[in-house]
Amino acid sequence: MREIKENGMHKDKIIIAIDGYSSSGKSTMARSLAAEIGYRYIDSGAMYRAVTLYAIRHNLITPDGSVDKLSLNNSLNDIKIDFKVTDGKQLTVLNGEIVEGEIRRMEVSNLVSIIAAIPEVRHDLVAKQQELGKEKGIVMDGRDIGTTVFPDAEMKIFVDASPETRATRRYKELSDKGIATTYEEVLANVVKRDHLDRTREESPLRCADDAIKIDNSNMTPVEQNNLLLDLFNKLTGSSDSNN
Ligand code: DC
């Protein structure tokens, strides 16, 4: 493997877009890669979740998914989303409050695809995400990072795994956190979100033409990390030789 680091940071920073289905493991892959190469990691899904939490708290969405779009769109300027790193963990901050635990609850998971389908919400968050990537040196994961947010990203990955594999992982994750749910509920949520994410009009989930597809159903985390790191090394290594 080529030596690609210089003082812990690569000379020519790039943008890495990692898209894929919910609970495909893309966040874990993105986070590990970012830590390994000294890049900033941004979980764009957390931003949609934070807007959803705001909407729930302000009664702008009902449990059955009816949204007061006008009020929500008028509130977008009041929704400040930041990320704070503590003990190597990235925490989502909504208007000054750490909401990392809150945004992972099923109540938010069940409503987030509805909020994420609203064009004004997407425009607002895409602009924020593009701002975060201005300096490059970033790994961002989501659904439309390689297609809409950073169509010129130098490295694009699309991660997939079967709905059952993803539901099993998500169920374990939630159970480990002590969040009460059933496998059936999680699987239904995964399938429903896949459908909503794929079929919404505004930047639906799809694999960018120039993305590398990875099905990680049968891959260990170490294998996934090595694969991404090899790709990164190849990409940045070839850009080195052009300089
Ligand atoms: O990755 P996640 O499950 O935390 O994402 C939460 C929701 O946000 C998901 O249902 C789809 C949506 N999302 C999106 O539409 N675009 C993104 N770039 C990231 C997430």
* Residue 31 CB contacts under 8 Å (≥ 6 apart), including other chains: 41, 43, 90, 139
Q: Does the residue 189 lie in any domain?
A: yes
Residue at token pair 């297609």: 147
Those residues of the chain that have pLDDT short of 70 are 1-11, 238-243
Q: Is the CB of 170 under 6 A from ligand 1?
A: no
Q: Is the CB of 113 under 6 A from ligand 1?
A: yes
**Per-residue tokens: 199:** 């079929």
Q: Does the residue 187 lie in any domain?
A: yes
pLDDT value for 2: 37
Q: Is the CB of 90 under 6 A from ligand 1?
A: no
pLDDT value for 3: 40
pTM of the model as a whole: 0.88
Helix and strand element counts for the chain (H, E)? 8, 8
Q: Is the CB of 22 under 6 A from ligand 1?
A: yes
Q: Is the CB of 32 under 6 A from ligand 1?
A: no
Q: Does the residue 242 lie in any domain?
A: no
Ligand 1: centre distance to CA 47 (Å): 8
* Residue 62 CB contacts under 8 Å (≥ 6 apart), including other chains: none
Are 33 and 58 within 8 A, CB to CB? Answer: no
Q: Does the residue 75 lie in any domain?
A: yes
Nearest CA to ligand 1 atom 1: 45
Separation of alpha carbons 92 and 82, rounded Å: 6
First to last CA, the chain: 19
Q: Does the residue 137 lie in any domain?
A: yes
Residue at token pair 């694999």: 207
Q: Which domain holds residue 23?
A: 11-232
Q: Does the residue 3 lie in any domain?
A: no
- Residue 35 CA, distance from chain mean position: 16
Number of domains in the chain: 1
Task: List C-alpha distances in Å: 115 to 19, 47, 72, 73.
Answer: 18, 11, 9, 11
Specify the CATH number for the domain of residue 42. Answer: 3.40.50.300
Separation of alpha carbons 181 and 174, rounded Å: 8
